[in-house]
Amino acid sequence: MNTTQHTTQNTALSGKLSFITENILSVQSKIQAACQRSSRSAKTITLLAVSKTKPNEMILAAQSAGLTVFGENYVQELCEKIETLPSDITWHMIGHLQRNKVKYIIGKTALIHSVDSFRLAEQIEKEAAKAGVVQDILLEINVAQEESKWGFTLEDALDAVKQVSQLSHIRVKGLMTSAPYTENPEENRLYFRALRSCFDSIREMALPNVSMEVLSMGMTGDYEVAIEEGSTLVRVGTGIFGERNYH
Ligand SMILES: *Cc1c(COP(=O)(O)O)cnc(C)c1O
């Protein structure tokens, strides 16, 4: 770690970015409580900070508060942040990925959550082979079958996993979903429960090249319910960094 970074972090901790540390503590205690309600250990949950649209200094503040895994939605923004932020940050791609952009993130992204078609998986296979790496991925499932969202249907999930498991430069690590936006997170419980059940049945099949370890579900509005239903990774943006401004 260089000196500039220490300065940024110390300023962030005591100064105008201290709300980030407070937010993280609050999210962590809610994760803890949801784990207690469902007799789980909080150690089994990864808190991924969704940093899209947020500046580097905020990411450094979250890192100095103890977070290590960050998620981005847009390839260009992800690449810029990877280049300019400390190398001990673990980056995940969580947004819809176009096939022509795959080449920019292979080898730099620990986990791609948003594999939503076999053609995208084939492109990842091709670029990973070229780079000589094996890329960890999740398959995105559109559990609620929303028109506006990407992903395989629940019905197609098993076939998709089987098909993708044939690709030797990809490891399927689990499943991801984004539940509908709602004021009442209880409304999403059935979607989380359905994905968990799918996740368990795929895991029981013990397919080669497939390890169902990561169940990525739950965002700011619904991560507590998602944890109660078996999530192992929650993706929290607003709850850590505040509202996003896209302008
Ligand atoms: C933006 C985003 C999030 C974070 O949403 P918040 O409601 O701000 O927590 C999580 N997952 C995906 C896929 C996203 O695009």
Task: Give the residue, by CA position, lying nearest to ligand 1 atom 10.
Answer: 235
Distance from Cα 208 to the centre of ligand 1, integer Å: 31
Map residue 208 onto helix, strand or coil.
coil
Ligand 1, closest atom to CA 239?
9
Distance from Cα 148 to the centre of ligand 1, integer Å: 15
Distant-in-sequence, close-in-space partners of 47: CB < 8 Å, separation ≥ 6? 24, 27, 28, 31, 67, 69, 234, 236
Pocket test for ligand 1, best of 115, 219, 245 (most atoms within 8 A of CB): 219
Longest dimension (CA), the chain: 52
Query: In terms of DSSP bridges, do strands 170-176 and 210-216 run parallel, antiparallel, or are they unpaired?
Result: parallel
Other residues' Cβ atoms within 10 Å of the Cβ of residue 164: 23
- Please give the Cα distance from 205 to 194 (Å, whole number): 17
Residue 174: is it exposed, middle or buried by C-beta count within 10 angstroms (0-12/13-18/19+)?
buried
DSSP 78-100: HHHHHHHS-TT-EEEE-S---GG
Query: In terms of DSSP bridges, do strands 135-140 and 170-176 run parallel, antiparallel, or are they unpaired?
Result: parallel
- Whether 2 has a pLDDT exceeding 50, the answer reads no
Degrees to nearest 5, angle at CA 99 with 194 and 142: 15
Distance from Cα 3 to the centre of ligand 1, integer Å: 32
Cα torsion angle, 73, 77, 82, 86, sign: negative
Query: In terms of DSSP bridges, do strands 135-140 and 111-115 run parallel, antiparallel, or are they unpaired?
Result: parallel
- Whether 11 has a pLDDT exceeding 90, the answer reads no
Contact 143, 179 (CB under 8 A): yes
- Please give the Cα distance from 146 to 44 (Å, whole number): 29
> What's the pLDDT at 44?
96
Q: Taking the model in full, what pTM does it have?
A: 0.94
Ligand 1, closest atom to CA 114?
13
Contact 140, 183 (CB under 8 A): no
Residues with CB under 6 A from ligand 1: 50, 52, 73, 94-95, 178, 219-221, 235-239
Map residue 46 onto helix, strand or coil.
strand
> What's the pLDDT at 3?
43
> What's the pLDDT at 15?
78
> What's the pLDDT at 247?
64
pLDDT tens per residue, range 191-243? 999 999 999 999 999 998 999 999 999 999 999 999 999 999 999 999 999 99
How many helices (H) and strands (E) in the chain? 10, 8
Distance from Cα 72 to the centre of ligand 1, integer Å: 9
9-13, 158-162, 191-195: segment of lowest average pLDDT: 9-13
Distance from Cα 203 to the centre of ligand 1, integer Å: 26
Other residues' Cβ atoms within 10 Å of the Cβ of residue 130: 12
